[in-house]
Structure 1
Amino acid sequence: MQYVADLHLHSKYSRAVSPQMVLPVMSEWAIKKGIDILATADWTHPLWSRHLKEELEEDGEGLFKVKNSSSKFKSEKKDPLFILSTEISSIYSQGGKTRRIHNLIFAPSLGTVEKINKEFLRRSFNLASDGRPIIGLSAKDLLELVLTIDKEAILIPCHAWTPWFSLYGSMSGFDSIEECFGKYSKFIFGVETGLSSDPVMNWRIKELKNKAILSSSDSHSPAKMGREATVFELEKPTFKNIRRAILGPSLKPNWSKLPDRIDYTIEFYPEEGKYHYTGHRNCRVVQSPKETKEKGPICSVCKKGLTVGVMHRVEQLAKKEDAFVEEIDPNGVKWITDPSGNHPKYVNLVPLLEIVAESLGRPVSSVRTKEVYENICKNLGPELDILLNISIDEISIIAGEKLAEGVRKVRQRDIVIKPGFDGEYGVVKIWNSDGEQAEEPLTGKQLKSKDQLRLDF
């Protein structure tokens, strides 16, 4: 059976996160979105850890559900399950450089969570300052600590290409898993793509050939949950089976035939991510990888260094060119597949709220946009079903021809995106690809630099 999982979120106790990021609200939005398994997030924070113990009850082996949860939205799915995962920020010096690496830790039990937190406190790490704590341990030492406490725990480098805080980051990362994790590299079974890269970019990296490619939303608000997700095929939703699915590509050449496996991932368009291209936001300088090779990584206006984007960083480390095949399913959804068979397929989507907003000519945050979105989900079902499975004719009957056309265009990849750079999101235009103008095009107001730490992350 398929399970849609969003394995990387943040609670209200992380910086720049909505106060709505609490378990009951997250659970309600998961049903609305069509998400079956959610990250608890931030279990290192003492107040959030207490909230988890108060609000969750175990339902299965190593997964939890919110007590007394119910939903008003049309869905045949049960309340979502939660997996104990959290993000840790490691800042340290190695090889003459300051390294800033973010990793996800998945724990099989609350007992393991308590042991890890206890060890962090013994080392005087400040867990109460932020739901995503900053610690002085290297990524390698963090992995050693976690596996010493529980060998069934998993560590996954998250948003692996983000320039400032990731495994491969251009500004403070490494060139390989081995360089970062040393002798513990064999325990890195996968990486998270992040919003500014997609699987086909990661397929170009030789050392990721037999690694799981995971995708998650890294959401700071309920509405952003599920913008990226990993869809598992599981015999039963348990921590052990999710672990088997993640480990599969590393251990079994025929991983695609395993009963527990990753079936596909749901992706942001990477161009929409905040660090896809190289650039300098303050000077409005943006460069493609080709332009960066020609001009160099120096701002032509202020002569300072540019933030080297994810696409260029992939070009630096890749050992092969893009290789993919497009397949269209009966619903008109265009999927991207790996011709080598080493990795699962994936699909790029635009969140339904963004489609609604552009169809109305209103901002995503407007009251009208939210009202229309809520009505569509109540009448048609979960967002991901609307984007992937429900017929365009049925969408048109309930939501109107304009919205149905937007969903069709997204399914067919018939959109235009101005790439993001240096912390600024890319701009999606659904109705510009054929010269048609939206009724009231979205303005750049949502993308000003001062907005980047708002709660709509």
Structure 2
Amino acid sequence: MQIVADLHLHSRYSRAVSPLMTISEIARWARKKGLDLVASGDWTHPLWLRELKAGLTEAGEGIFTSGDDFRGPKFILSTEIASIYSQGGKTRRIHNLVLAPSFGVVEKINLALRKRGANLMADGRPIIGLSARDLAELIFSIDKNCLIIPAHIWTPWYSLYGSKSGFDSIKECFGEFSDHIYGIETGLSSDPAMNWRVAELDGRSILSFSDAHSPAKLGREMTIFKIDTPRLEYADIRKAIREQQIKLTVEFYPEEGKYHYTGHRKCAVVQSPLQTKKLGTTCPVCGRPLTVGVMHRVEQLANRPFAINRSGRPNFVKLVPLAEILSEVLSVGVSSQKVINEYERLIKSLGSELAILLRIKPELISRVGGKKLAEAISKVRQGKIVVTPGFDGVFGIVKIWPDQGQPPRPSQESLF
């Protein structure tokens, strides 16, 4: 069977996260998005962990449902941990996803982190002083069936390969535990093809998840796993990641990610990799360092040229969220009531957002949502859109019809 999964999200106990990120809302929006499996998020936080234990019912070893609601989605115990430490004369800031097979294992990990001085109440995404290597040692000493997945690996400030505080290799980051890193998360500013250029990622799963900070952002990236068994268990997901049993990943257009290009937001300076190679990484306006973007960082670490597809690797598809498409179709802001109402009507009439964006025929979309919406979704499916790349924390801008004015972008969009 196929499992559509989003294994990276946050609860309302994390910084800059919507108060609507509750178990029931996560489940409700996951159904709208077409997700079969979602992360619990933030199980290191004591208050959220208490809610998870009270609100989730085991529906398979290491797999849960929201109460007695067996409509789905299923939940898996996944959290993000931020390591900030010094190594090699440089401050490192590395974010890792940690998946655990049971609440018992979660409790042991949390106890071990507290003994190491971690303040788990401070944030749903705790900051610890352990190195990525030492975190791996701690996690795997408690249960070797846990998974560690480096999160959004190209983000400049907080990731494995980040230009500001990361490493040049998995081995340098995780040491002797690097062979136990079975997959990585692409992040919004990169896609699988960009990651295929790095040889050390051969043999590792290229995974894509949303890192959602609000319910509507669930599923903006997702991974579709191929599962051999009829009843899903944690071990099936671990096996799928370890053995690259992936049918497809659904991607944000990486240009839309907020660190795709190199630049300096305050001075409105933005550079492509070619320009950065020629002009350097110093802001020509203020003289301060530019934030080196994901595309340039990939060029620095790449061992091979770009390829549209690679033998043995799963396919991927790039989509634009339905709300963003509706925003342009209706010429209103993405968070406007008009977009919200039309989104809900389409979901009720046609099915999940994933089905609308990927599978439903344009003729049916046209009958229900109008010709302009059908045309817009067809253009997105064919890649016939224009994206102005994001840089230095500024999201890129998608245009389906480049000559049409850009709708206003409200401040709520800062909630990832």
User: Deviation per CA, 1:278-318, whole angstroms, max 9, x where unpaired?
Assistant: 00000000000000000000000000000000000000000
Give TM-score, length-normalised by structure 1: 0.89
- 2:105 is aligned, of 112, 123, 129, to 112
2:210 pairs with one of 212, 217, 236: 217
Matches of 1:206 and 1:144 in 2, distance apart?
Answer: 25
Out of 266, 271, 291, the residue aligned to residue 287 of structure 1 is 271
Instruction: Tell me the residue number matched to 2:373.
Output: 403
Q: CA RMSD in A?
A: 1.1
In structure 1, what is the Cα distance between the partners aligned to 2:170 and 2:211? Answer: 22
Q: Give how far 1:14 is off.
A: 0.3
d(CA) in 2 for partners of 1:2 and 1:393? 26
Report how far residue 454 of structure 1 moved: 3.5
Q: 2:241 — aligned with what?
A: 246
Q: 2:250 aligns with which of 249, 266, 277?
A: 266
The residue type paired with residue 211 of structure 2 is D
2:153 paired residue number: 160
The aligned runs of 1:57-456 (5 Å cut-off) are: 57-69=57-69, 78-236=71-229, 237-249=232-244, 261-324=245-308, 337-338=309-310, 340-341=311-312, 343-432=313-402, 436-437=403-404, 441-443=406-408, 445-446=409-410, 451=411, 454-455=414-415
What fraction of aligned residue pairs are identical, expressed as a percent? 60
Kept in 2, the 8 Å contact 1:21–1:221? The answer is yes
Q: Any conservation in 2 of the 1:423–1:452 contact (CA below 8 Å)?
A: no
1:181 is paired with a residue of what secondary structure? helix
In structure 2, distance between residues paired with 1:103 and 1:218: 12
Structure 1 residue 54 corresponds to structure 2 residue 24 = no
Q: Runs (4+) of structure 1 moved beyond 4 Å? A: none
Task: Provide Cα deviations, 1:18-50, integer angstroms capped at 9, x if missing partner.
Answer: 011011011011111100000000000000000
Distance of 1:419 and 1:454 partners within structure 2: 17
**Alpha carbons 1:273, 1:419 under 8 Å: kept:** yes
Letter in 1 for 2:189: S
> SS state of the match for residue 345, structure 2?
helix
- Which amino acid in the other structure matches residue 109 of structure 2? I
Are the aligned partners of 1:424 and 1:452 in contact in 2 as well (CA < 8 Å)? Answer: no
Separation in structure 2 between the aligned mates of residue 193 and residue 349 of structure 1, nearest angstrom? 15
For 2:366 and 2:390, locate their aligned partners in 1 and report how far apart those are by CA, in whole Å.
Answer: 31
Supply the distance in 1 between the matched residues of 2:28 and 2:41 (Cα, whole angstroms). Answer: 16
Contact 2:57–2:68 at 8 Å: present in 1 too? no
Displacement of 1:190: 1.1
Code of the aligned partner of 1:242: I
Q: Secondary structure at the match of 2:57?
A: strand
Shift of 1:69: 3.2
How far the C-alpha of 1:124 sits from its partner, in A, is: 2.2
Helix, strand or coil for the counterpart of 1:100?
A: strand
TM-score, normalised by the number of residues in structure 2: 0.98
Match of 2:5 in 1: 5
1:452 is displaced (CA, Å) by 8.5
> For residues 61-99 of structure 1, what are the alpha-carbon distances to aligned partners after superposition, in whole Å with 9 as ceiling and x for unaligned?
2100001338xxxxxxx3100000000000000000000
| 1:180-219 residue CA offsets vs partner (Å, 9 max, x unmatched) | 0111111111110000000000000010011100000000
* Cα distance in 2 between the residues matched to 1:375 and 1:125: 45
Relative to structure 1, the CA distance from residue 403 to residue 452 in structure 2 (aligned partners, 3 Å threshold; closer, same or farther) is closer
Deviations, residues 371-420 of structure 1 (Å, cap 9, x unaligned): 00000000000000001110000000011111111110100001000000
Which amino acid is 2:14 matched to? S
CA distance in 1, matches of 2:61, 2:336: 41
Gaps of 5+ in 2: none
Deviation at 1:323, TM superposition (A): 1.1
Separation (CA, whole Å) in 2 of partners of 1:420 and 1:64: 37
Q: 2:239, 2:186 → 1: CA distance?
A: 19
Q: Is the 1:24–1:69 Cα contact (8 Å) retained in structure 2?
A: no
Equivalent pairs, count: 414
> Structure 1: which 5+ runs fail to align?
71-77, 250-260, 325-336
Deviations 1:238-297 (A, max 9, x none): 110111111114xxxxxxxxxxx1111000000000000000000000000000000000
Q: Equivalents in 2 of 1:379, 1:369: separation in Å? A: 15
**Partner SS for 1:356:** helix
Structure 1 residue 453 displacement after superposition:
8.2
